[in-house]
Amino acid sequence: MSQANATPRRRFVSVWLVVTIALVALMVVVGGATRLTGSGLSITEWRPVTGAIPPIGEAAWAEEFAKYRASPQYKLLNEGMSLGEFQFIYWWEWSHRQLGRLIGLVFAGGLLFAAVTRRVTLGEGLTLFGMGLLLATQGAIGWIMVASGLQPGMTAVAPIKLTLHLGFALLFFGALVAFLIHVRPPRSETPRLSAPLRAGAYLVLALTFVQILLGGLVAGSRAGLTFNTWPLMDGGFAPSLDGLFAVTPWWENFVDNVALVQLNHRIGAYVLLIAIALYAFAVVRAGADRATRRRVFELLGVMILQAGLGVATLVMVVPLSLGLAHQFGAVVALALAVRNVALAAGGTSQRVRERRPGAVAQPV
Known binding site for heme: residues? 265, 326
State how far the Cα of 207 lies from the Cα of 268, in Å rounded to an integer.
8
- What is Dmax (Cα atoms) for the chain? 72
* Alpha-carbon distances of 238 from 216, 234, 244, 246, rounded to whole Å: 20, 7, 9, 14
- Let me know: does 167 contact 210? Beta carbons within 8 Å: no
Q: Which of 207, 174, 209 is nearest to 342 (CA)?
A: 174
R_g of the chain, CA atoms, integer Å? 23
* CA neighbor of 134 nearest in space, from 92, 165, 102: 165
CA separation for the pair 260, 267 (Å, rounded): 10
Give the DSSP letter of residue 193: P
Residue 203 contacts residue 361 (beta carbons within 8 Å) = no
Output the CA–CA distances (angstroms, integers) from residue 342 to 25, 112, 173, 225, in the order listed. Answer: 19, 26, 14, 37
- Name the β-bridge partners of 352: 363
The one-character DSSP state at 82 is: -
* Bind-site residues: 265, 326
Helix (H) or strand (E) holding 246: none
C-alpha 29, offset from chain centre: 9
What amino acid is encoded at 251 in this protein? W
- How far apart are the C-alpha atoms of 244 and 267, rounded to whole Å? 14
Q: Which residues have a Cβ under 8 Å from the Cβ of 198 and sit 6 or more positions away?
A: 192, 341, 344, 345
